[in-house]
Amino acid sequence: MFKETVSTEEELRSIIGYPSELVQKKVIHVLDEHCREFISKSPFLVMSTSDHQGMCDVTPRGDSPGFVHILNEKHLIIPERPGNRRIDSMRNILSNPSVGLLFIIPGLQETLRVNGRACLVRDEHLLQQLKANGRPPVIAIGVEISECYVHCAKAFIRSDLWNPNSWLDQEKLPRASRMLADHANMAAESIADLLKESYTKRLY
């Protein structure tokens, strides 16, 4: 399928070049006051993990701003809210603790990237701090920070993501219930009912 591919970093550098001085210097290794403020105002993040064989997974996490708790300059904790019980991220963390986090604030085009090592946390006093609607999570993901840095806005500018005028009309959007029905070979109506129940009764 792909006839011309790049196989070495040297070849890749000859095509892409090298990062600027700012890009090389912007990486820090603790959660300073700027990172803390960013995370406290972020209601959404994307988490990347992989298993010991390198099979990758990327999943969203979201809740009210501040749902990710910063414990100190080297550690944060993410509540695991009820989901579909596939536990892809958590299974990966058990075999490979390396994680990448991308924090997003609606309307802000820059993002914050945080990389580190994760573990699955059951400390009751920590879980109690992560309550939502009066309910603590049964488990959480703790992350020890290795590096943090601001990611530039180019992807958001090119995609025009935050501009409502660029959004598709509702009737033109893909329908998750129809996609799931075809993929799972189930009736679309029953899928729609299951999704509605999940979204209204099992958020916390």
Those residues whose C-beta lies under 8 Å from the C-beta of residue 119, and which sit 6 or more positions away, are 93, 97, 141, 142, 144
pLDDT in tens, the chain (204 residues): 999 999 999 999 999 999 999 999 999 999 999 999 999 999 999 999 999 999 999 999 999 999 999 999 999 999 999 999 999 999 999 999 999 999 999 999 999 999 999 999 999 999 999 999 999 999 999 999 999 999 999 999 999 999 999 999 999 999 999 999 999 999 888 999 999 999 999 999
Question: On the CB side of 22, how many CA atoms lie within 13 Å of its CA?
Answer: 3
DSSP string, 50-108: E-TT--EEEEEEE-STT-SEEEETTEEEEE-----S--HHHHHHHH--EEEEEEE-TT-
